[in-house]
Amino acid sequence: MKTINNIIELVGWEAIKLLIGLIGVLVVVVVNALVLTWAERKVSGHMQRRIGPKEVGPCGMLQPIADTIKLIAKELLTPQNVERPLYFLAPVIVFIPVMVSFVVIPFDAYLQVKDINVGILVILAFSSLSVLSILLAGWGSNNKYSLIGSVRSVAQNIAYEIPLLLALLAVVLMTNSLSLRDIVESQKGLWYIVSQPIAFLVFFIAGVAETNRTPFDLPEAESELVAGFHTEYSGMRFALFFLAEYTNIFIICAITTTFFLGGYHGPILPGFVWFFGKTYLLVFVILWFRWTFPRVRFDQLLNFSWKLLIPVSLLNLIVTGGILKL
């Protein structure tokens, strides 16, 4: 007991908390990805009137674990002509920003690794990083499909980060804080989805685009680019991209919940149940999109952002500012 106290004194209580938090985050990330792969297959199955995985575990719930074991056990194949450092680095880099984003998300009133007063900036800054890894993967693979996919991804991320930010800004204007906890606390009475419906829509659509999901899944457009930027990846490296994709979905939905759906607020049930419930409901909507819509074309994608989402969110911002000033 004494040694523990010594260590705490040595490194500081904050650091220990952070360490435990990070381990917790890692667990959440992995479990979330496992749950989402299973959910994706189940949702797609039932939407297509089949049942999806069923054999491994009850309702096929252990299927993702079986898949993970398979992916880990697979040989790490490296194609001959890849740019080795970039090719190896990309799947590692893709994973870091999504981890960091978890640190600032308030899962419950007291369940947050660290409340930073610029929380939302941290998330946005790091989520922009993930496009770097996609670019590295595309370039490093030395494959034309990968390259086209990654170039698309860069253009798409730049285009959709702006409406993403502008939509959040409207909420920030109303709360006067960049801290996520403050934003959630200010929604105790009225959720921002009611006062900021347009910002919510813009944010959610841009968020779907940011996570490269259908109907905006151009970087990995299966029918055009085989698998886009991760065409040349297999085994665990592919699994890392996969993990990052699902974690990204979760983060976007978690932010939407935090900003617009009142975060952990809700009657009777404990806060984190509400938080995860709302988040996974949004995740379900994203899955639902994927199994309903076709993919937009590249020029349509960019037009949609530059010509519709950005003007609308700007207008929303101006109106919000004007009303607040009055």
Residues forming the site for other proteins (CB under 8 A): 43-51, 54, 144-145, 148, 152, 214-215, 217, 221-224, 226, 288-289, 291-300, 303-304, 307-308
Beta carbon nearer to other proteins, 54 or 74: 54
The full DSSP string for 290-318 is: HTT--PPPHHHHHHIIIIIIHHHHHHHHH
Quote the crossing angle between the two packed helices 235-260 and 63-73, to the nearest 10°.
140
Beta carbon nearer to other proteins, 169 or 225: 225
Beta carbon nearer to other proteins, 95 or 289: 289
**Smallest Cα–Cα separation from 85: which of 154, 139, 145, 132?**
139
User: Smallest distance from the beta carbon of 205 to other proteins, in angstroms?
Assistant: 10
d(CA 164, CA 178) in angstroms, rounded, equals: 15
Beta carbon nearer to other proteins, 48 or 117: 48
Q: What is the DSSP letter of 24?
A: H
User: Smallest distance from the beta carbon of 18 to other proteins, in angstroms?
Assistant: 41
User: Smallest distance from the beta carbon of 13 to other proteins, in angstroms?
Assistant: 48
The full DSSP string for 240-309 is: HHHHHHHHHHHHHHHHHHHHHS-TT--SSS-HHHHHHHHHHHHHHHHHHHHTT--PPPHHHHHHIIIIII
- Neighbour count for residue 89 (Cβ, 10 Å): 16
Residue 195, CA atoms < 13 Å, CB-side half-sphere: 22
User: Smallest distance from the beta carbon of 17 to other proteins, in angstroms?
Assistant: 42
Beta carbon nearer to other proteins, 184 or 249: 249
User: Smallest distance from the beta carbon of 207 to other proteins, in angstroms?
Assistant: 16
d(CA 264, CA 100) in angstroms, rounded, equals: 20
Q: What is the DSSP letter of 176?
A: T
Beta carbon nearer to other proteins, 272 or 293: 293
For tokens 């409207």, name the residue: 170
Beta carbon nearer to other proteins, 281 or 324: 281
User: Smallest distance from the beta carbon of 65 to other proteins, in angstroms?
Assistant: 21
User: Smallest distance from the beta carbon of 200 to other proteins, in angstroms?
Assistant: 14
Beta carbon nearer to other proteins, 22 or 312: 312
C-alpha to C-alpha distances, 3 to 6, 8, 21, 35, 284, nearest whole angstrom: 5, 8, 21, 38, 47
User: Smallest distance from the beta carbon of 285 to other proteins, in angstroms?
Assistant: 9
